[in-house]
Amino acid sequence: MKATSNFKILQFVFILCMFPGFYSTNLAQNDGSGNFKSFKGIVIDAATNEPLVFATLAVEGTNIATVTNSEGEFILKVPESSAENDLSVSFIGYDRKKLPLTSLKADANKLALKPISVNLVEVSVFPTDPNLLIKAIMGRRNENYMDQSMRNIAFYRETIKKGWNYVSLTEAVVDIYKQSYSSGRADQVSLLIGRKSTDYDKVDTLVFKLQGGPLAALMLDIMKEPYTLFYEENIEEYQFQINKVTRLDDRLLYVISFQQKPVEGEPWFYGDLYVDTENLAITSASFNLNLDNKEAAARMFIRKKPKGAKVYPTKATYMVNYREKDGHWYFAYSRGQVDFKINWRKKLFNSNYYTTMELAVTDRINTENGSFKASDKLKMNVIMEDAVQGFANEDFWGDYNVIEPEQPIENAIKRIQKQLKEN
């Protein structure tokens, strides 16, 4: 299957037009009392003190979880009923850290994880044919992943930067009706609460709008949507190589690199899969789109653009993480980043835009309630910037968990708050 035939599942679809539009998550579960404790901090490498980006934090005995941001920082809200549980912190290639929540402070927690090395003698079976391994992985998909439908609460964020400056931020807490991995039905999303902010002064007469929102982020769940990248019928279109073995918690992982065989004139994918050596579940994946053919790649991403502007992507990267509980793996986090360069016909300098979207599942709820009403469901062509309300105060999220904002975003938010107070 060529990238052009399946890339619609992965792409950021943008509408660019001329003018005449911030935060993060981890959803704390509400225990009915409305009372919760909040913890902030950073996860670092114990040897180098470098921050660990997108590390997972989970409250044991619950479905409460979050991830660190691109600075390794986190914020976690836990209901009082779970405030004495243990916290588990994990990252691929590091020993898991487990500690009681009661040992944490409200702020400035520093959680250090120790890097590990894996000796190949620890692997009882080392496969020699990566293509057969991939076929076995896809064959065990229904056995390894969520075998029932359930509701997820998640935090969604999308940002747009022009150069070094953030010009647009949209955030939302969403309710997801996640279909089982054996079901061919599409996942559904309903908006619970959201906010946006756009700094028009920095947009320079051009506005980016991203279609798809949380639904596009869910399409990065490559085990729910295997045709996104590959499945048994098109595995031969890829080259696979087992590079090394690493560890996640107490699990050994194969690191399998893949590259789609180039098709003349078409973009193609390449990246890495992290696979549990025992049950052959993909626990994480990171991949990219080759953008050597600028015109073909631009046709995938841009739905509409103004006259006189030549727009093409310069970077397209994606990642997805899964979390295991009771023998099954669940979609936990996805992130995509697409960067663009814009050449104006009558302007001397180019403009560079950097766009990201991320979705973090912060709670899973077993419920008999089925799909959402048609009027409540977000559509695939949704533009989240148009679907949510304007900026709100810092108590906007209440006891919902959010991903800690990066420092530049936080500064932008503070500036906007100041402007609102002055007005």
**Would residue 114 count as lying in a domain?**
no
In a domain, 244, yes or no: yes
42: in domain: no
What CA–CA distances, in Å, run from 42 to 63, 88, 364?
Answer: 21, 14, 24
- 295 three-state secondary structure: helix
pLDDT of residue 1: 38
* Domain membership flag for residue 330: yes
Question: Three-state SS for 139?
Answer: helix
Could you give the CA distance from residue 185 to residue 178 in angstroms, rounded to a whole number?
9
DSSP type of residue 212: S
> Which residue stretches of 253-301 are H helix?
294-301
Question: Residue 138 to residues 10, 42, 92: CA-CA distances in angstroms?
Answer: 19, 36, 22
Distance CA 151, CA 362 (A): 11
How many domains, in total, are found in the chain? Answer: 1
User: What counts of helices (H) and strands (E) characterise the chain?
Assistant: 7, 20
Alpha-carbon distances, residue 238 vs 22, 118, 140, 218, 259 (angstroms)? 38, 27, 19, 23, 6
Are 385 and 21 in contact by the 8 Å Cβ rule? The answer is yes
Residue 92 domain-assigned? no
Tell me which amino acid residue 206 is.
L
Task: Say if strands 13-18 and 302-304 run parallel, antiparallel, or are unpaired.
Answer: parallel
Q: Is residue 55 assigned to a domain?
A: no
pTM: 0.84
Has residue 343 been placed in a domain? yes
The residue type of 5 is S
Residue 175 and residue 29: Cα distance in Å, rounded? 13
* pLDDT for residue 380: 83
Helix, strand or coil, per DSSP, at residue 234: helix
Q: Provide the residue range defining the domain that includes 170.
A: 3-21+125-397
User: What pLDDT does residue 9 have?
Assistant: 37
Amino acid of residue 192: L
How confident is the model at residue 10, as a pLDDT? 45
Specify if 78 maps to a domain.
no
Q: Tens place of pLDDT for every residue, the chain, 423 residues?
A: 344 444 443 445 555 543 332 222 222 333 334 588 999 999 999 999 999 999 999 999 999 999 999 899 999 999 999 999 999 999 999 999 999 999 999 999 999 999 987 665 555 555 678 888 888 888 898 899 988 889 999 999 988 888 877 888 888 999 999 988 888 888 999 999 888 877 655 545 556 677 888 998 998 999 988 777 776 677 888 899 988 888 887 788 989 999 988 777 778 889 999 999 889 999 999 999 888 888 888 887 877 777 777 888 899 999 999 999 888 999 999 999 989 888 877 666 678 888 889 999 999 887 766 778 888 899 888 888 888 876 666 677 777 888 777 777 777 666 655 655 555
Tokens 């949704």 belong to residue: 382
CA distance 312 to 305: 11
Residue 242 neighbours by CB distance under 10 Å? 17
